[in-house]
Chains A and B, each alone.
Chain A
Amino acid sequence: MSAILKRELSSYFNSAIAYVVFAAYFFFSGLFFHTYCVLFNSTSLSYVYADMMMIILFIVPIITMKTFADEKYQKTDQALLTSPVSLFQIVMGKYMGAFVMYAMCSCIFLLYAIVISFFAVPEWSVIICTFIGLLLFGAALVAIDIFISSLTESTIVAAIVSMAVNLVIYMMTSFANIISIDWISWIIEKINFATYYDAFKYGLLNITDIVFFLSVAGLFIFFTVRVLEKRRWS
């Protein structure tokens, strides 16, 4: 697994992906930080976090699009699948690689918090909790998008479908509001990421919320393993 993780990370940095992702992430987070914190003289990073959610929906697919789609297209999956490594280890290696990329981007928030601490006392509990929430939110998105990448041979298709799915996940609260059938809006409420993400924004760490995001990640890692397994049998 560590061999795959290492290769994944080096492939991000050997191609333009890592630099494009970092540039986009730092540009938008810097813009929001400048607008909300510097111009409005605020010590709260909440608005920066909130607006970055929208950007993350498009950045995660860029990180994950190549994971399995490109392996299949280049036929390099033959090397992975005929080596003495289990399917779970292959998926985990790729998942960890993508997640580490995502986490590296997210660390910029800690830098913003440190900048604020030079001028005022930041609300550390909120900043750290939201940061943890952001990582968990990303952990779930990365797993979903890797699963989508495993379904296709085309990185472009993987990226576009992932973005669409991420957008649907992001807009679930609005869906719940416009649907009048009770049981459907109840289900949407229960699987809505925002329901579980909200507490982090207020500096609360609930075990339910953490378990929710980790379960989603686990579930889609499991699905990805099943997709690879199924491909061998079909």
Chain B
Amino acid sequence: MVEVKNLTKYYGNIKAVDDISFTVETGEILGFLGPNGAGKSTTMNMITGYLSSTSGTVTIDGSEILDDPKKAKSKIGYLPEIPPLYIEMTVRKYLEFMFDLKKVKLPKKEHIEEVMRLVHISEQSERIIKHLSKGYRQRVGFAQALLGNPPVIILDEPTVGLDPKQIIEIRNLIKSLGKKHTVIFSSHVLSEVSEICDRIIVISEGKIAADAKTDELSTQVLGNQKLAVQIEGNSSDIIAAIKKIPAVVRVIKTGEQNDAGKYMIEYDKDSNIRRDVFNAMVRINCAILDMQSGNETLEDLFLRLTSGTVKSSAGGK
């Protein structure tokens, strides 16, 4: 549905986006993750045709954004980081204007009502946008992106500045949109991206640092899985016993607490060694006091990816 190929953007001499390529299929929710200034907004602005790329192409459902802009743009609903609202208009008048601007062919009144219902702003329809709170303004921006039911919806940090209840509502809305539309949305909040998205692209310094399915991201990027255990008994015996398990790559003792040693076991990502560890410890008569996944959380991973300490093995899908 959306195909981005070798997209590059220079601002003067500064390379803001560096040779980014990816494809998003229909019905997929793609999360765009990266610290501030990583190139998320620039990339989205290029996908929507607001900015032109220095080189590379963006194709929306077969139409190239620079060669056939009208057709390509008519397939995109875009909510920029700052919602493009004419604050002196009422919500309804604004949506009517956007409806006409986008040349939507649906019945006007019914469609606007439906969109307002979807984002819960029907009660605010006659209010002037200037007088609305940040949360409501964000929803009006959301509503204009949904006008005409475009197949591709692009949202640039849609939950910034909202209260927790509104964030949950917007997240649910994005999830429900993902059933029918292709959604690309950016955020620097990891929990949000991992909760909503099927797939995550991590951008750092204008480059794709990782591109993977949400649940596979950590294993793909890190290569091996980790297990953190706490075991009572002689350290050298325990380490020797664990090393005998075929899938184990490495064992290190990380500390000691109440006569029980703490160990970090690194093992092959395709296997599951918890039962083997248990059996091995039973054989040498050492009690396992604690066992948990030692995989890094997405937060740790994100920090490492964007600070450049990990080179992704999953980049460039």
Seen from chain A, the residues whose Cβ lies within 8 Å of a Cβ on chain B are: 2-4, 6-7, 10-11, 14-15, 74-86, 232-234
Contact = CB atoms under 8 A, between A and B. Distances in A.
A81 B49 contact: yes
Contacts of B101: 3-4, 79-80, 83, 85
Chain A binding surface, main DSSP class: helix
B32 to A, nearest CB: 17
A14 B87 contact: no
Q: How large is the interface on B (under 10, 10 to 19, 20 to 34, 35 or more residues)?
A: 20 to 34
A3 B97 contact: yes
B80 A6 contact: no
A75 B84 contact: yes
Contacts of A6: 97, 100
B207 interface: no
A211 to B, nearest CB: 31
B103 interface: yes
Nearest to B77: A82
Nearest to A3: B100
Interface string B53-95: 0000000000000000111011010101010111111000100
B48 interface: yes
A155 B155 CA distance: 29
Pick the most buried of A3, A82, A234: most chain B CB atoms within 10 A of its CB: A82
B86 A11 contact: yes
B49 A15 contact: no
A233 B69 contact: no
A193 to B, nearest CB: 34
B170 interface: no
Contacts of A10: 89, 93
Contacts of A83: 73, 98, 101-102
Interface in B95-132: 97-98, 100-103
A2 B100 contact: yes
